[in-house]
Amino acid sequence: MARLGRSSVLGLALLGLLWAPPSARLLAQPAPASLVADRIDYDAETETLTASGAVEILYEGRVLHAAGIVYDARNEEIRAQGPITLADPSGSVILADSGALSSDLQTGLVQGARLLIADQLQMAASEIGRKDGRFTSLYQTVASSCTICEGDATPVWALRAARVTLDDLEHRIYFEDATVEVLGLPVGYLPRMSIPDPRVRRASGFLLPGFSQSDIYGFGFKLPYYRVLGPSADATVTPFLTSKGAQIIEGEYRRRFANGGFDLAGVLALTSGLDSSAGRGALTATGDFALFSGFVADFDINLVSDQSFLLQYDYSDADRLTSEARVLRTRENDFMQLGMIGFQSLREDEDTENIPFILPDFTYRQLVEMPGIGGRLGLDLDTLGVWRQTGVNMFRAGGGADWRRDWTLAHGLLVNAVAATEFDFYRVWDDPATPERVIGRATPIVSTELRWPLLRTTGRAAHVVEPIAQIVYSDIIGETDNPNEDSQLPEFDTTNLFVLNRYPGRDRYETGLRANLGISYTRYDPSGWSLGLTAGRVLRADGDTSFPEDSGLDGRWSDYVTSVALTTAWGLTLSDQALFGDDFLFRRNEFAVVYDGDRADFAASYVYFAEDDTNEVLGPQPETNEFSIDARYRVHPNWEVRGLWRYDIASDSNLRAGAGITYGTQCAEFDLSVSRRFTSSDNVPPSTSIGFNVSLAGLGDSEDRSWPARVCLG
């Protein structure tokens, strides 16, 4: 008998080849395997090779560890003594007590085995068999992606099957006579089912179902089917059936290219279940593409068949849909954008024929350095077309130039100067008040701004106080009765206290001599938190009556605007924006507190708008006085609760409320939610909706790393 020492290398393709993928055996001559053992004996009389003591076989990236290997050439049999561990480069690991295979290495049987695929899905079986170098069969199998503890062998979820077959060519796993268990309790039986191999990133098949309940449509059931259409395209089709007779098809198609991609999603009701109508639905399309010379094209299209469809079936509570398509380019010294915008109103009191369609919406701006006089020159062009089925239509073309320069004077005084001129020309159609006409105007603007930041540092904090004064003069040369499409609802707060024009668009400009006055204070603490305060108002040489009365900008002195912001290093942020007059009565106040932490998220807001009987655009507006809260708290590493509440203080009524609870591990997530909408319209009454969703890692869903694995005690 010959004896070989450790680290001997033999030209034998042993057990490693048995578990190789079919493609590896298509080669004319397999590469030899490396066999390493503490002791290797060969008996020429019995034609038996025996390897023992820390046996290791390496073959094309696969590694086999065993206590011993016996190759019986006379009986054409290979036997391995456990414990056996076989690691595959694709991520599979087999643990077994013992194993045997034929000498042609195409069939085999492993006793008392466990199989781990892609470090995610694990299976325990009484036997594992291999056939034709392609199929692996597991008998009396328990499969799960959850942690199994020694003292408690019940996983969060498991599949018990009489037989499981792994197809290495089709990359599918087939279950026969399978029972689905959750926390050890059987919840479903499946005669046959298949799932993709967890090592496959994308595979066609059914996804886990979703369940919901609503006062409007009753009990709802969804079963998505996902289809791979190539390396850069896929589609999902989801039947949505309700107990009140709705038959709805949801679809999504996604496609990617080298220069971009798009997503197309739609909903079509074959029968609504609420009445005899059919063909109701919605469509959404989004995408972006990189074009030539740095241009980018993107679009976001949203359409719905009627005003109540989205709300009735819990898709959205939006009251207006916006669709936009544009081409733009942004470079260091210029910006260009050409787009169009469409709106669809879902409000009952809004006439859809008066809703505008915007085309073209064009903007171009270029910055040029001015070496002779210093500063920077800005050049801009702008066009806007507004079209309606009924109402005023108009086209605006404009442009302008502005020069800006900054100086730093003695004692840290910062000075900024601006000189600008804007030109606009209008063509107006279908105005019942006046005939078709062309309007032209010019708006010269000059301003200077003084800032004096003062810094004081103590042992406890750094304090910065900055008084600001901005003097602006502007006027309009030409006609002033042009249409107002983009400047109807001006707002005044600290974010636009020091801008040249507080109207949101180009259709209206502030005029006259005015001073924008303000002061800011910021405290920076070494521990990481900061506090900022800003306050200011506007003083005009002549009382301006062009602004709406409720804007706070009307009159010689504007209202006061203030803002407060507190930010901490541990995730808490408080902010407040206020607008009030000399009598300290608030026109508007918006307060928000946000906390973003590892175990909890919290967002609360309070909004107040005073009653306004002078709004010429929206009409008389009642007082708005609302409070809302949205919170999440992880009460346990594997349990999370959340809730939301929106309350109208002015009318002493609830607007919306909701709650949810989630149990999750790295292998499963169970989510139960309930929400109540208290508001109603002519078509949609108040309703309560309940949803339940399950996600199981290894059964079509990826492992969720945001949830911790199960902790085994002891």
Is it the case that residue 59 has pLDDT exceeding 80?
A: no
Say if 68 falls within a structural domain.
yes
Q: What SS3 class is residue 552?
A: coil
Q: Give every CB contact of residue 650 below 8 A, 6+ residues apart in sequence.
A: 622, 623, 624, 625, 626
pTM above 0.85, yes or no: no
Give the pLDDT confidence score for residue 11 in this predicted structure.
32
Q: Give every CB contact of residue 183 below 8 A, 6+ residues apart in sequence.
A: 154, 156, 157
Residue owning tokens 């498991």: 158
Confidence of residue 570 (pLDDT cuts 50, 70, 90): very high
Question: Average of pLDDT values for 463-486?
Answer: 94
Residue owning tokens 């589609």: 235
Question: Average of pLDDT values for 316-337?
Answer: 95
- CA-nearest of 622, 544, 537 to 581 is 537
Question: Average of pLDDT values for 308-336?
Answer: 94
- Locate 553 and state its tokens: 């900008």
pLDDT in tens, 549-567: 889 998 899 999 999 999 9
Say if 40 falls within a structural domain.
yes
Give the pLDDT confidence score for residue 127 in this predicted structure.
84
| Residue % of the chain over a pLDDT of 90 | 57
For 221-254, letters b (16+ CB in 10 Å) and e give ebebebeeeeeeebbeebebbbeeebebebebbb
- Locate 594 and state its tokens: 């946000």
- DSSP percent split of the chain into helix, strand, coil, nearest 5: 5, 60, 35
Cis peptide leading into residue 83 (ω within 30°): yes
| Residue % of the chain over a pLDDT of 70 | 91
CA-CA distance, 174 to 193, in Å (whole number)?
A: 6
Give the pLDDT confidence score for residue 25 in this predicted structure.
38
Say if 155 falls within a structural domain.
yes
CB count in 10 Å sphere of residue 481: 12
Q: Give every CB contact of residue 330 below 8 A, 6+ residues apart in sequence.
A: 294
Mean of all residue pLDDT scores within the chain: 87
Domain count, the chain: 1
Give the pLDDT confidence score for residue 560 in this predicted structure.
97
Write down how long the chain is: 714
Give the pLDDT confidence score for residue 465 in this predicted structure.
97
Give the pLDDT confidence score for residue 149 in this predicted structure.
67
CA angle 593, 597, 601 (to 5 degrees): 55
Confidence of residue 347 (pLDDT cuts 50, 70, 90): confident
Confidence of residue 94 (pLDDT cuts 50, 70, 90): confident
Confidence of residue 92 (pLDDT cuts 50, 70, 90): confident
Say if 131 falls within a structural domain.
yes
Domain with residue 119: its CATH number is 2.60.450.10
Highest mean pLDDT among 58-67, 108-117, 636-645: 636-645
Say if 176 falls within a structural domain.
yes
Is it the case that residue 443 has pLDDT exceeding 80?
A: yes
What are 233-236's contacts with CB under 8 Å, separation 24+?
Answer: 234/202, 236/207
pLDDT in tens, 240-286: 999 999 999 999 999 999 999 999 999 999 998 887 778 899 999 99
pLDDT in tens, 188-215: 888 998 888 888 888 888 888 999 999 9
Say if 563 falls within a structural domain.
no
Question: Average of pLDDT values for 144-172?
Answer: 83
Please report, in angstroms and rounded to a whole number, the separation of the first and last CA atoms in the chain. Answer: 49
Lowest mean pLDDT among 115-119, 454-458, 636-640: 115-119
Which residues make beta-bridge pairs with 108?
Answer: 101, 130
Containing structural domain, residue 93 = 2-199
Give the pLDDT confidence score for residue 32 in this predicted structure.
65
- CA-nearest of 534, 595, 583, 581 to 553 is 581
Say if 296 falls within a structural domain.
no
Residue pair 141/164 in contact (Cβ under 8 Å)? The answer is yes
Confidence of residue 107 (pLDDT cuts 50, 70, 90): low
Cis peptide leading into residue 360 (ω within 30°): yes
CA-CA distance, 625 to 611, in Å (whole number)?
A: 10
Give the pLDDT confidence score for residue 709 in this predicted structure.
75
Check residues 186 and 98 and name the one with the higher pLDDT: 186
Check residues 618 and 295 and name the one with the higher pLDDT: 295
Say if strands 185-196 and 210-214 run parallel, antiparallel, or are unpaired. unpaired
Give the pLDDT confidence score for residue 237 in this predicted structure.
97
- CA-nearest of 468, 585, 583 to 534 is 468
Give the pLDDT confidence score for residue 203 in this predicted structure.
85
Say if 492 falls within a structural domain.
no
pLDDT in tens, 376-409: 999 999 999 999 988 899 999 999 999 999 999 9
Residue 283 is inside which H or E element, if any? Answer: strand 280-290
CA-CA distance, 264 to 235, in Å (whole number)?
A: 9
Distance of CA 187 to the CA centre of its chain: 32
In angstroms, the Cα distances linking 473 to 84, 450, 510 are 86, 15, 9
Confidence of residue 599 (pLDDT cuts 50, 70, 90): very high
Lowest mean pLDDT among 152-156, 425-429, 609-613: 152-156
pLDDT in tens, 113-135: 788 887 778 888 888 887 776 78
Check residues 434 and 48 and name the one with the higher pLDDT: 48
- CA-nearest of 47, 53, 33 to 2 is 47
Check residues 97 and 178 and name the one with the higher pLDDT: 178
CB count in 10 Å sphere of residue 105: 20
CA-CA distance, 295 to 260, in Å (whole number)?
A: 12
